[in-house]
Amino acid sequence: MNVLLLSMPDSFEHMPPVAIRMPNGALASLAGNVDQHHRVAVADLILVQRRVRETVTRLVRELNPAVVGLSIMTFQRRTAARIIDLIRALKPDVKIAVGGYDPSLAFEAYGEMNVDYIVRGEGEVTFRELLRSLERGSGFDKICGLSYRDNSNTRDNPDSRNDNAWVHNPARPVHRLEDKEEDSQIRLPNRDARVLKGYTLLGRQVDVIETSRGCTYDCSFCSIIEMRGRNFHTYTFDRVLADIRDAREHGARTLFLVDDNIMLNVHRFEALCEAIIAAGLNQLDYFVQAMTSSIANNGETLAPLMRRAGFRYVFLGIENILEGDLEFLRASAKNTAREDGHNVGNATLKAVNYLHRNQMYVVGGLIVGNPADTRESIEANLEFARRYVDWPYIQHPTPYPRTPMTKEFRDQGLIQNERLEEYDGTTAVVRTEHLPAEEVEFMRWKAERWMKTQHIPAVLRHDPWFVLTHAQKMLAHTFRGSSFLSALGLESEKKVFERYREIRSAEREYV
């Protein structure tokens, strides 16, 4: 069977496509896990952000897929709907499957779209079984994690239009990852299936790898708990190293570890660093996401080891520097430093220091605009970012489907914007008890643009050619909305912000 897998073109403020275009890890993993005789093509539409319609049209015509699968986040739902309509118009009888966080957690919304199957939760085994059933015509009722339309009414009675009755099979238990049985294993991703080129992270070819899945924390803003429950499963080091080698053989020089929370088991992570060094794979640059507590509490040995293994950027889930906000975000525990078995306060500064002392850069993940936030509390977080982080990754709390936070915001009547395509993390869609959403976003936007420029010298040292050839475009992206007049101080920042929002709104029309 010919299968086309697509990830959406929508990007957000902190991932400017001029510098960052990463592959979607889920699709290559799905491609590696269907039965070998299928012909699968993976297209990450971020690589053709301004040519989506032409590219999808060309791929559907060239590949003539029997099944098309789309991977979708919530802020990409509108684009996904447009792409689905386009595919249907090009090939009315094609079977369309959707998966990823948004279809899994907001499956009702997809029930109303022109799709045939919703894959909820982990997809490798479900999708493999779906293709088998389609090939054999054997029905879908045994496939855990699958939602499908029950057309029996339409079959029995051709006049009936009741073809919208969705059947939601029971959830699929999360995969243990270490399974040895051939049919239940998750095999390596199939990177050969990718049909578009141009992946990059600051000028170096980038790929993603996974070493584990899951998390046992329950931060209120995170979708993970509802997606897969609180658990943590790991791949063997042999598999991880094979995956790294495969990514390198496919040209990658930078690897992004997409684990939900790799730092849950620090000893394992240290052993993984050792294994990377022993295998001589530490010449690659690694990006990883980390909890501040793990780095603060183990930094003495962990940070030097990470550096030797090739880790260069660490995305720290600081979330907020104020205790009240951390409580709202349910993120206090993962940000607490411990000494001699006792809690000794916020772990952030300690973690930042360990990373800096070991020549690693801190991508500072902060969330501002929580219900109790005032101008002063937001400014305190922005000031922290100015002083201590190398690359700011500041977001606003966003009510994604089925997170605990979403319920709280709804109960408090703080959600100001229901346009999901703006739920990209850097558009404030909820107000605080004291400030409207626009004001929160304006404060962040104004501060963050300048913070980003401070990191240019560090990138210049590492990738001079990239900076020399792309600096102008990157600055133009960071300062979108600015004008000659605003540079001279003859136009207010608010005016520039309005223009930036208009540009951003036009950018979102990908299809």
223 near ligand B12, judged by CB under 6 A = yes
Candidate residues 42, 47, 102, 129; the one interacting with ligand B12 per rule CB under 6 A: 102
**For ligand B12, which is the closer residue by CB, 350 or 394?**
394
CB of 171 to ligand B12, least distance (A): 13
Q: How far apart are CA 406 and CA 414, in angstroms?
A: 10
- Beta-carbon contacts of residue 213 (< 8 Å; ≥ 6 apart): 122, 174, 175, 177, 228, 232, 233, 259, 260
CB of 399 to ligand SF4, least distance (A): 15
CB of 89 to ligand B12, least distance (A): 20
**For ligand SF4, which is the closer residue by CB, 261 or 346?**
261
3-state secondary structure of 115: coil
E strand or H helix at 118: strand 117-119
Show the site string, 290-329: x = touches ligand SF4 by CB under 6 A, - = not. ---------------------------x------------
Candidate residues 74, 211, 294, 427; the one interacting with ligand B12 per rule CB under 6 A: 74
**Measured between alpha carbons, how far is residue 339 from residues 288, 291, 350 in Å?**
25, 17, 12
Angle between helices 437-453 and 464-478 (to 10 degrees): 160
| Among the residue ranges 95-103, 338-346, 483-491, 495-503, the one whose residues contact ligand B12 (CB under 6 A) | 95-103
11 near ligand B12, judged by CB under 6 A = yes
Question: Tokens 């790991």, residue?
Answer: 234
**Measured between alpha carbons, how far is residue 224 from residues 115, 120, 217, 230 in Å?**
24, 13, 9, 8
Where in 373-503 does DSSP place strands (E)?
Answer: 391-395
Q: How far apart are CA 26 and CA 29, in angstroms?
A: 5
Q: How far apart are CA 465 and CA 407, in angstroms?
A: 48
Q: At residue 79, what is the residue type?
A: T
129 near ligand B12, judged by CB under 6 A = no
224 near ligand SF4, judged by CB under 6 A = yes
Lookup: tokens for 113: 């779209």
Show the site string, 202-221: x = touches ligand SF4 by CB under 6 A, - = not. -------------x-xxx--
Show the site string, 259-278: x = touches ligand SF4 by CB under 6 A, - = not. -xx-----------------
Query: Residues in contact with ligand B12, total (CB under 6 A)?
Result: 40
E strand or H helix at 6: strand 2-7
CB of 320 to ligand SF4, least distance (A): 12
- With the C-alpha atoms ordered 221, 222, 223, 225, is the resulting torsion angle positive or negative? negative
Site of interaction with ligand B12 (CB under 6 A): 5, 11-12, 15, 22-26, 29-30, 69-71, 73-75, 97, 99-102, 105, 119, 122-124, 127, 208, 210, 222-224, 256, 258, 260, 400-401, 424-425
Site of interaction with ligand SF4 (CB under 6 A): 215, 217-219, 222, 224, 260-261, 317, 334
